[in-house]
Chains A and B, each alone.
Chain A
Amino acid sequence: MQIKDSFVINAPQEKVWEFLFNIPKLGECVPGIESVKIVDDKTYSGKLVVKVGPIKSEFTGTVIMTEVNAPNHIAGTVEGDDKSSASSVKANFSGTLTAVDGGTEAAFQVDANLRGRLAQFGGPVITATAKKLTADFAKNLRAQLE
């Protein structure tokens, strides 16, 4: 399943880039993040709570950065699982920052593989949830950077 989205922040590219690597601050902007831990300079672990209607899932997992090209491109992998619904997710992601008129455009692409009971929800529910989380994330980023 592919998720693609982008948003614009009214802040200079360097400032946005710098913020993306301030992990504790960044964690505060991700909706549903309950904890983040820096394992090493390329590895982070954390816990994410996502609610869709009556269903609440708690994913614990790890993010590994595989490419970091300052100040415009990152790529990496995410692995996580939700014990209560016996579901797991594996994803590759990449993101780019581009200077645009009035600020910085952040674009990203996620190629995710969801297994387990949550997967029966199917694509539309998951992509809609991802879109909502992205919109909230963008809003939080703006509040911090603009």
Chain B
Amino acid sequence: MNRIKFLEPTTFSEASALLADYGDDAKVIAGGVSVTLMLQQKLIAPSVLVSLGRISGGDFIRIESDELHIGALAKLHDLERSQIVREFCPALTKAFGVVGNVRVRNQATIGGNLSAADYAADPPAMLTALNARVQLQSPEEKREIPLSEFFLSFYTTALQPDEILTEIIIPKWPRTSYQKFSSISAEGRPCLAVGVAADFDSENICKDLRIAIGAAVETPQRVVEAEAMAHASTLTDELVAAIANEYSLRLDPLTDVRGSAWYRKEMIAVFVKRALEEVRNDNR
């Protein structure tokens, strides 16, 4: 049995410097949800774990110039209960609150959830719909990229070996919806995740619309042609159905234990429609 060295830096830049030093032998651990699973199943065998647990102040939730800033170390359960998040974007509260179960959410951090890049997850689709951005810290610098450029493929992100996700920045959207569809009741993972962010004028005419599909595809995906159909239009039942069908038609979902590609195509039409109806009817 080989021993794992457990390092506990106190700042993000110190942590990323350790990653640069140890290279491939090191893995980052925050809440430890996905890392511990992979360790237990011997899918990874790092000789060094760089823990982010001693970094203080990395779990903030605050509004700055009308955008929501979330520290990567914020636990999903704290985000789910946060009044700031709820007032800023109720659909985001919903997406955080349906991940796994309460014991998982008590432990899992939002940074870890995104960095694991597990396709069968809730937050990525909602955050992609909201056009969120992420901040990545290397020993030398901090860079910011849109979340849409962060997910590259299954379990693979744009993080360089010495980079750590430190912050998520979310723009304000007047109306949002999150729809999760689970096909297996005994587990928390979605078969399909649909996130919608929209803006309407005073006549309830759609000014802007973003729809992101997750869990049914490798990385969260949008169909911009279908989103554009809503532009400067009233979301009538016909238009909602047309957009939902366009999503179902244009996406190429995957087949796994939670559903076949054909089944997921059908469900995409159903849940995009429900999400669009929710934002249309949310006429406050």
Contact = CB atoms under 8 A, between A and B. Distances in A.
Interface of A: 52-56, 84-86, 117-118, 120, 122-125, 128-129, 132
Contacts of B218: 124, 128
Contacts, number: 47
Contacts of A120: 41
B133 interface: no
A52 B42 contact: no
30 contacts: A52-B155, A52-B156, A53-B117, A53-B154, A53-B155, A54-B27, A54-B38, A55-B38, A55-B44, A56-B24, A56-B44, A84-B45, A85-B41, A85-B42, A86-B42, A117-B42, A117-B43, A118-B43, A122-B257, A123-B254, A123-B255, A123-B256, A124-B119, A124-B154, A124-B218, A124-B254, A124-B255, A125-B154, A128-B153, A132-B153
A129 B24 CA distance: 20
A52 B154 contact: yes
Contacts of B117: 53
Contacts of A85: 41-43
Main secondary structure of the interface of B (DSSP, over half): loop
Given A85-B42, A122-B257, A124-B218, A54 B153 contact: no
B256 A124 contact: yes
Given A117-B43, A128-B154, 9 more contacts: A54-B44, A55-B44, A56-B24, A120-B41, A123-B254, A123-B255, A124-B255, A125-B155, A128-B153
Given A122-B257, A124-B256, A55 B155 contact: yes
Contacts of A56: 24, 44
A52 B256 CA distance: 17
A93 to B, nearest CB: 21
A123 B24 CA distance: 27
B61 to A, nearest CB: 27
Nearest to B45: A84
B112 to A, nearest CB: 12
Contacts of B254: 123-124, 128
A52 B118 CA distance: 11
A132 B152 CA distance: 12
A2 to B, nearest CB: 12
A53 B45 contact: no
Interface string B244-284: 00000000001111000000000000000000000000000
Interface string B218-229: 100000000000
B256 A53 contact: no
A56 B25 CA distance: 11
A52 B257 CA distance: 20
A53 B156 contact: yes
Interface in B21-60: 24, 27, 38, 41-45
Contacts of B256: 122-124
A124 B216 CA distance: 10
